[in-house]
Amino acid sequence: MTSELQPHGPASAAPVVGAKARAASVFDVARLAGVSHQTVSRVLNDHPSLRPATRQKVLDAMKELSYRPNAAARTLSSSRSRMIGILSTSTGQYGPAASVAALEVAARARGYSVTIANADGLDPRSVQAAISHLAELSAEGVVVVAPQTRVLEALSDLSFGMPFVTLQELATDAERSRPLDQVVGARMAVSHLASLGHRRIGHLAGPADWLDAAQRLTGYTDELDARAIDFRAVVNGDWSAASGHRAAGELIAHGVTAIFAGNDQMALGALKAASEADIAVPGELSIVGFDDVPEAAFYSPALTTVRQDFAEAGRRAVALLLGESSVPPSVEPELVVRRSTAAPVA
């Protein structure tokens, strides 16, 4: 025979001992705070007409009851989803993956959730389908983490009723879209090598249809131009260590004394190619990467690279999307000097 434990004393919003705890509702909060449930809803929706003392009573009641707002109910009552869409292309690369993670953290800090729609970077119809999916979910805006040129071209051709920002640069919308200044980062890498005395600096570039790769190539050529260095040697890879291994061999054949790699994985391949050719790094060949992946400090030798602040870029992108009055400045990268660079052999 089972027996039920009866509550003692006056009725309260606390769950019954021995039963499955019931989540507190708006009505529970209203009862404890001594206000109407409409007042609780106004607090949840940040209504400006509430007195501070009333607002605080409701907030205190929410804390005491461990009240968690029902997101779906809030959407229905306020006609706002408080959800940000992320348009991404599934590449598995460190930079885009770190960007998505940073955006999620930045959105959550402002009370927003995120949903990710993946698109094929080579198919405009896939981009359109992903945007339509986010619109159907009532996303209030979209952050684009899709570095391929074709994706951004497709976006510029679409008409949709949601604000959006990109982590890359759209030629038609450059003002909104520079959370990460990769041209500056590339110039830092080349400047470091040139300052060491290198004049035969090759560039192991990323895929030609990626804006990230294009911006880093621009930084490479701009810095060489600024220093009146005429030597140019550029070979494209696909961001992988294997492509870096292959392309580095071509650059070495061109007689380079230093390589600026478009990302750290390709730099890893370049280190392998140098080792196989019995070329000492940094004694005979200096190598700089880009991104500062967590493993970069453990390459052999430890890799000099350009670190991007993805967390700050995420905050800036979300601030831009939400139209905040105080938007952080464009995020400048940082050169991290380790053991893979040195002055060229005399």
For residue 251, what are the CA distances in angstroms to 193, 227, 232, 233, 314?
A: 16, 21, 10, 7, 35
Domains 26-77 and 81-176 share a fold: no
Q: For residues 158 and 135, what is the distance between their CA atoms, to the nearest angstrom?
A: 13
| Number of other CB atoms surrounding residue 77 within 10 Å | 13
What is the pLDDT at residue 10?
A: 37
- CATH code of the domain made up of 182-309: 3.40.50.2300
Name residue 236's beta-bridge partners: 205
- How many Cβ atoms are within 10 Å of 138's Cβ, its own excluded? 14
Architecture of domain 26-77: Orthogonal Bundle (1.10)
CATH architecture of 81-176: 3-Layer(aba) Sandwich (3.40)
- Contact call for residues 332 and 313 (beta carbons, < 8 A): no
How far apart are alpha carbons 346 and 284 in whole angstroms? 10
**The pair of three-digit structure tokens given for residue 31, joined into one six-digit string:** 């009862």
Per-residue pLDDT of the chain (346 residues; tens, 9 = 90+): 443 333 333 333 333 333 345 677 777 888 899 988 778 777 776 666 788 888 899 889 888 888 766 554 454 444 567 889 898 886 677 888 888 888 899 888 888 889 888 888 777 788 888 888 888 888 888 888 877 777 777 776 666 667 788 876 543 343 444 566 889 999 999 999 999 999 999 999 999 888 889 999 999 999 999 999 999 999 999 999 999 999 999 999 999 999 999 999 999 999 999 999 999 999 999 999 999 999 999 999 999 999 988 888 888 888 888 877 666 666 789 999 999 999 998 7
Q: Which helix (H) or strand (E) holds 286?
A: strand 286-288
pTM, two decimal places: 0.70
Q: Where are the domains of the chain?
A: 26-77, 81-176, 182-309
Return the residue matching tokens 């292959």: 246
Ramachandran region, residue 82 (left: φ > 0; alpha: ψ -120 to 50; beta: rest) = left
Q: What is the 3-state secondary structure (H, E, C) of 92-135?
A: CCHHHHHHHHHHHHHHHHCCCEEEEEEECCCCHHHHHHHHHHHH
- Both structure tokens of 36: 């109407």
Rounded CA gap, 210 and 236, in Å?
11
